[in-house]
Amino acid sequence: MKILMDENLPHELRPLLMPMHDVFTVAFMGWAGIANGELLRRAASQGFDAILTIDRGYEHQQNVSNLPCSVVLLRARSNRIDDLRTLIADTLTALNSLPPQSLITVG
């Protein structure tokens, strides 16, 4: 699965999701500062299956019945790697059974 990590997630999360998935960051793609709707469209057009984020704006700002690619919303105390590390097993399980164009919450 090809995953885009939103800019609000630490880069230290990336290797914890690999090698099971191809993981890219918003910074690597040159998409920093792009609004959620446009980010979803760009991700889908570049073949990403899902965006991984802690930004709760996706669930309130986007029409979840018409997403161009899936969104995995991580609910952690903060975006620090220590808080996110506890969600890795559940995140990998969710990614392995992720329906196309859906929004799911982990944590």
* Ramachandran class of 53: left when φ > 0, alpha when ψ lies in -120 to 50, beta otherwise: beta
| The predicted structure's pLDDT at residue 31 | 97
b/e per residue 22-49 (b: at least 16 CB within 10 A): ebbbbeebebeebebeebbebbbeeebb
Span 89-103, pLDDT tens digits: 999 999 999 999 999
Q: By 3-state DSSP, what share of the chain in percent is helix, strand and coil, each rounded to 5?
A: 40, 20, 40
Q: Encoding tokens for residue 10?
A: 């630490």
State phi, psi for 25 to the nearest 5 degrees.
-105, 155
| Bond into 68 cis (ω within 30) | no
- Please tell me the distance from the alpha carbon of residue 55 to that of residue 8, in angstroms, as a whole number: 7
Span 20-79, pLDDT tens digits: 899 999 999 999 999 988 999 999 999 999 999 998 877 777 777 788 899 999 999 999
Q: How far apart are the first and last CA of the chain?
A: 21
